[in-house]
Amino acid sequence: MRFLITGTAGFIGFHLARRLLDDGHFVTGFDGMTPYYDVRLKEARHAILERSNGFRAVIGQLEDAAALQQAAELAEPEVIVHLAAQAGVRYSLENPKAYVDANLTGSWNVLELARQCEVKHLMLASTSSVYGANDKVPFAEADKTDEPLTLYAATKKAMEAMGHSYAHLWKIPTTAFRFFTVYGPWGRPDMALFKFAHAIEKGEPIDVYGEGNMRRDFTYVDDLVEAIVRLVPVVPSEDNRVTADGITDTLSRQAPFRVVNIGGGQPVGLLDFIAAIEQALGKPAIRNLLPMQKGDLPQTYAAPDLLRELTGYVPETDVPTGVTKFVEWYRLS
């Protein structure tokens, strides 16, 4: 199949593109190479993808509709996977405009592109952050998402809403998947695992927010990619509405649109996560225990039932295994 993936120089986009290329598909990547973190890491990811004859790349910002149009003409996509975004919860406190530009204007440009290309499936990357102040756990797709705690979460929720409207107006089959704390090799330097490993290796203290009492549904990146790949042929329609007992499908009553959690539903304490890093590195961490930061939640984890019903799959890599794989990559990078 022919895929257009936004964000192929990013952490998740790189892994998804590599998997699809290995499976024999054609991938056109679109990325802005923004300097939110070291661009050399992004360039290294693209360099690996470019070893495949099935990969082509267009460099441009999501806000640049003409650049996206160029990528679409090159790709002639059957499927668009929109992963590119301004990421990072804490950075949204410092530079909110970047989130409005990329996650709102940029996502609207992608929706317009999907309408013009008449794709078979549009897939949008959302986040567990949209659940915001919801105090019910595990988070299920039908739970209320009306109280986002950060601008990042608000822009992702808005993208979901825009996606639903386009799915209804233009009959674009659309799946929005909500990620839960993705980690693994080639991860972003601003993410906790990368920062913790770097500091522990150097014998420097690590900042542990919430005094380590937070729990997260850590999702290993290969498991996330497996789930996305399995969702590609599950094009939202009444033909695949889930009717199993106890499962609430989010397939819209008005549009070919569905929201799906991608998480294993197995929350792990932050201190246990740090212990796995210490074990993999063979070095102890110096912990600097700090209070919760603005926008943080004490606990987030997925109800994975809908994903299981749709794909027969749920992320399964345990934290010690996934962290060890990250450390092996980190020490070679």
C-beta atoms surrounding 8 within 10 Å: 29
Phi, psi values for residue 82, rounded to 5°: -95, 100
- Per-residue DSSP letter, 139: B
Residues sharing a CB contact under 8 Å with residue 246, sequence separation 6 or more, in sequence order? 305
Q: CA 212, CA 196: separation in Å to the nearest integer? A: 13
Closest by Cα among 273, 264, 262 to 214: 273
Marked catalytic residue, from 36, 91, 99, 152: 152
Q: CA 117, CA 313: separation in Å to the nearest integer? A: 30
| 152 among known catalytic residues | yes
Residue 193: what residue type? L
- Three-state secondary-structure class, residue 62: coil
Contacts of 97-103 spanning 24+ positions with Cβ under 8 A = 98/36, 99/151, 99/152, 99/155, 100/151, 100/155, 101/62, 101/63, 102/61, 102/62, 102/63, 103/152, 103/155, 103/156, 103/158, 103/159
Residue 11: what residue type? F
Q: Are 295 and 130 spatial neighbours (Cβ–Cβ below 8 Å)?
A: no
Residues sharing a CB contact under 8 Å with residue 247, sequence separation 6 or more, in sequence order? 305, 306, 309
Residues sharing a CB contact under 8 Å with residue 279, sequence separation 6 or more, in sequence order? 320, 323
Cis peptide before 205 (omega within 30 of 0): no
Residue 308: what residue type? R
Q: Which residues are catalytic?
A: 152
